[in-house]
Amino acid sequence: MSQRVSLLFGVHAHQPVGNFSSVLIDAHMRCYKPFLQVLHRYPEFRFAVHFSGWLLDYLIEHFPEDMTLLREMVERQQVELFGAGDTEPVLAVIPNRDRIGQIETFSNKLLAKLGQRPQGAWLTERVWESTVIPALADCGIRYVIVDDYHFLCAGKPSSELHGYFSTEEDGRKLDLFPISEILRYKIPFSPVPETIAYLESLADSASSSCAAAIYFDDIEKFGIWPETYQWVYEKGWLEQFIQSVLASSKICTQHYGEYHASEKTRGIVYLPTVSYIEMNEWTLPAQAANTYAELVQQAKINSWYEHKKAFLRGGIWKNFFSRYPESNWMHKRMLELSTRFNALPKKQQTKLMRQKLYESQANDAYWHGLFGGLYLPHLRRAVYNAIVELEALLDSRMQRLSCYTEDTDLDGITEAYLHNGILQAIVKLDDFAAICEFDAYPLKHNFGDTLRCQLEHYYQKIQPGEHHLSNHAVSGIASAHDRISYKHEINADDIIPDDHPRSLFIDRLGETFIAYQYKAPALENIHFQSTNTEYPIHKHIMLDNNRLQVVYRFSAKHSQIFSTEINLAMPSCDGMGGRYIYQGKIPGGFGQLLKLTDLTEIILDDDTLAGNVILTTSFPVTFIGHPHFSVSQSESGFEKIMQALTIRLEWPVTTQECTVILEINSKS
């Protein structure tokens, strides 16, 4: 009897918390629905699936008939369900107590809604740190899947990676399956005969009867990635693949659990802190990423990369916190609220509080690569919606001081917190003396949720002025990793890094940034004084009910122009729902340039926000409003994304005092 290889085939389905309903509907129609329908026709094709918790809830609510297919496949033992954290957090970057809570929440959900409690778990972005082992093991998870690259980094030869291995931490054991990188790139991009030939070659070369071909990757490759819907469904790749696997005398499909129960471990292994190989580059700052990419390219030219790539390693996932201040700030705010929530007596901890805590831990908004969502305002907004709502709930049970200071994000710069139950202003006590977070609790919104432009490694691929270019594979179709395309025309000015944070109330005299020194806080009043101006300028930040007031006092009159820059996260961005209202008329939307003179009041109205901001000044000013865009790369190509509405207020220093007020109102 010829040798057979066990195909352990798994797919991971995920949509970020807060994603647009139109995106979810499209993903379902082009991917989740046709995938399940095709697999349902082949009961003998066994496979594993992981739907992230928020997506699973959405699909069950909106597309119950397709989820019924999934439950039927579970009941007839065609499908093995994989667990994870409920909101798809990176387990390594949340507290252990929350790891356990997230995993248990999702495992219980799978049992209740689909009838199976998982033994295996999907690791978000395959981010591995040994510290996650105890939580997984304590929740009944017996095995997880990581890339074969993880094992290569531990010194394991690829020839051994056709089964599972064991590891341990703090007295807990966990088994690890290595996902084949070759299969990740072949499925579904290579022609079916080529993929089947590769799988059968594994059977031919197997040294024993228990070799496994291990595949587990994003289901979105089956319909959502460019060209894949036509390739996978209209041209029949998926159906041909399943039929060819089932017809092969050298391939059999198994669940991970079946293989795990029937085969022995290949031995002990200790993996380094690592994610999948593409993440090595994404986690690095631009200059370091350029160096890394050059080394990789040299290795490929000299034909030694494939054999030694495990020893040419870039950064780790947590580098995103040190690379992007905005990501780090969100993360540390989340950790702080986790501590406050878990400090509450159990009787005061509500289900809604826990839900909002877990939503604030959803991974997508914390990182950036070809897929990460840090550059997408609506994903960051979902995290901040949860943070702001949770903070209000905690404040109702555990009062905070109305004004206090701490270094929240561990950057060596103290922040001052000013809140009154309606609004909260968090001020960086550095030279800029600007507001880095501005929360409206009734709206559950952070108006300071913006993103500065910084240099990205992939900018060197951009040819300014080009609009569309794509690279195609010689056979099959191109993976998103191999494409260069443009959703928008990109100009040289679009990729210039910012020289200041995109905060609220960044001040200039002429074109020179004003440097401030923090003064001891008075009650509900944060006070700064300039240090680089001929005459002192005093800046006071205070809250009054639903109004944020910033008062500027000038000790001398002169002809220079004073200006302040206010970067506001308006949810509608450059869409139809965001507009200016001035003197009863609509002069334009947030995506347009607007310049007005002698202004003392303007309304910023936003349908998505379900509220508005009334900006008033005590002295007539020149108002300049324009969109702030950043350039990023996604699987769809290079694109410009509006991150904030940037407002610049200018006036000559001919008055001794000017007050700028942001009044926040809800339409409900």
- Phi first, then psi, for residue 190 (nearest 5°) are -90, 155
* Residue 470: per-residue pLDDT: 42
- Taking only the tens place, the pLDDT of each residue in 216-252 is 999 999 999 889 999 999 999 999 999 999 999 999 9
- Taking only the tens place, the pLDDT of each residue in 529-563 is 999 999 999 999 999 999 999 999 998 877 789 99
**Last residue of some domain: 274, 300, 319?**
274
Q: Residue 513: inside a domain, yes or no? A: yes
CA distances from 425 to 388, 428, 442, 612 (A): 12, 10, 14, 17
Structural domains of the chain, count: 2
- Taking only the tens place, the pLDDT of each residue in 399-420 is 999 999 999 999 999 999 999 9
Q: Residue 194: inside a domain, yes or no? A: yes
- Please say if the pLDDT value at position 296 is more than 50: yes
- Taking only the tens place, the pLDDT of each residue in 130-166 is 999 999 999 999 999 999 999 999 999 999 999 999 9
Place of tokens 């897929």: 371
* Residue 473: per-residue pLDDT: 44
Residue-wise DSSP of 434-481: -EEEEEETTTTEETT--------GGGGG--TT--------SSS---GG
Q: Residue 528: inside a domain, yes or no? A: yes
Q: Residue 476: inside a domain, yes or no? A: yes
* Residue 521: per-residue pLDDT: 60
Among residues 276, 11, 10, which one has the least CA distance to residue 128? 276
- Please say if the pLDDT value at position 477 is more than 60: no
Average pLDDT over residues 499-511: 96
> Do 148 and 142 contact (CB within 8 A), yes or no?
no
Q: Is 218 in the active site?
A: yes
Average pLDDT over residues 27-52: 98
Instruction: Report residue 1's pLDDT band, with 50, 70 and 90 as the boundaries.
Output: very low
Sign of torsion, CA 519 522 526 527? negative
Average pLDDT over residues 336-341: 98
State the alpha helices, DSSP H only, in 344-405: 351-359, 377-397
Among residues 86, 83, 87, 167, which one has the least CA distance to residue 131? 167
**Last residue of some domain: 218, 250, 274?**
274
Instruction: Report residue 638's pLDDT band, with 50, 70 and 90 as the boundaries.
Output: confident
Which amino acid type is present at position 374?
L
Q: Which of 258-272, 434-448, 479-493 has the lowest mean pLDDT?
A: 479-493
Q: Residue 386: inside a domain, yes or no? A: no
Average pLDDT, the chain: 93
CATH number at residue 541: 2.70.98.10
Query: What token pair was written down for 495?
Result: 């990729």
Q: Which residues contact 567 (CB under 8 A, 6 or more apart)?
A: 448, 450, 502, 503, 504, 506, 628, 644, 645, 646, 647
Q: Residue 487: inside a domain, yes or no? A: yes
Q: What CA–CA distance (Å, rounded) separates 205 from 208?
A: 9
Percentage of residues of the chain with pLDDT beyond 70: 94
* Residue 482: per-residue pLDDT: 47
- Please say if the pLDDT value at position 207 is more than 70: no
> Do 422 and 545 contact (CB within 8 A), yes or no?
yes
Average pLDDT over residues 339-366: 97
Query: What token pair was written down for 31?
Result: 């991917």
Instruction: Report residue 522's pLDDT band, with 50, 70 and 90 as the boundaries.
Output: low
The catalytic residue among 104, 160, 218, 239 is 218
SS (H, E, C) 128-186: ECHHHHHHHHHCCCCEEEEEHHHHHHCCCCHHHCCCCEEEEECCEEEEEEEECHHHHHH
- Taking only the tens place, the pLDDT of each residue in 577-602 is 999 999 999 999 999 999 999 999 99
| DSSP single-letter state for residue 500 | S
Residue-wise DSSP of 447-460: TT--------GGGG
CA distances from 448 to 98, 483, 626, 638 (A): 27, 34, 16, 25
Cis ω before 188 (30° cut-off from 0): yes
* Residue 58: per-residue pLDDT: 96
Radius of gyration of the chain from Cα atoms? 27
Q: Residue 333: inside a domain, yes or no? A: no
**Last residue of some domain: 246, 274, 302?**
274
The catalytic residue among 66, 80, 125, 437 is 125
- Please say if the pLDDT value at position 383 is more than 50: yes
Q: What CA–CA distance (Å, rounded) separates 662 from 504?
A: 11
CA distances from 571 to 242, 274, 369 (A): 44, 35, 23
Query: What token pair was written down for 179?
Result: 């996902």
- Taking only the tens place, the pLDDT of each residue in 160-198 is 999 999 999 999 999 999 999 999 999 999 999 999 999
Q: Is 278 in the active site?
A: no
- Please say if the pLDDT value at position 567 is more than 50: yes
Instruction: Report residue 491's pLDDT band, with 50, 70 and 90 as the boundaries.
Output: confident
Q: What CA–CA distance (Å, rounded) separates 570 from 643?
A: 9
Q: What CA–CA distance (Å, rounded) separates 274 from 316?
A: 6
Query: What token pair was written down for 623?
Result: 């108002």
Which residues on adjacent β-strands are paired with residue 534? Answer: none
Instruction: Report residue 77's pLDDT band, with 50, 70 and 90 as the boundaries.
Output: very high
CATH number at residue 61: 3.20.110.20
Instruction: Report residue 206's pLDDT band, with 50, 70 and 90 as the boundaries.
Output: low
* Residue 665: per-residue pLDDT: 97
Domain that residue 241 falls in: 5-274
Q: What CA–CA distance (Å, rounded) separates 84 from 100?
A: 10
Average pLDDT over residues 77-102: 98
- Please say if the pLDDT value at position 467 is more than 70: no
* Residue 483: per-residue pLDDT: 46
Q: Residue 381: inside a domain, yes or no? A: no
Place of tokens 């108006």: 447
pTM over 0.85: yes
Average pLDDT over residues 83-109: 98
Q: What CA–CA distance (Å, rounded) separates 207 from 200?
A: 14
**3-state SS assignment for residue 518:** strand
Query: What token pair was written down for 411?
Result: 């950057």
Bridge-based pairing state of the strands 516-518 and 512-513: unpaired
- Please say if the pLDDT value at position 273 is more than 80: yes
Other C-beta atoms within 10 Å of 263: how many?
17
- Please say if the pLDDT value at position 107 is more than 90: yes
Sign of torsion, CA 328 331 336 337? positive
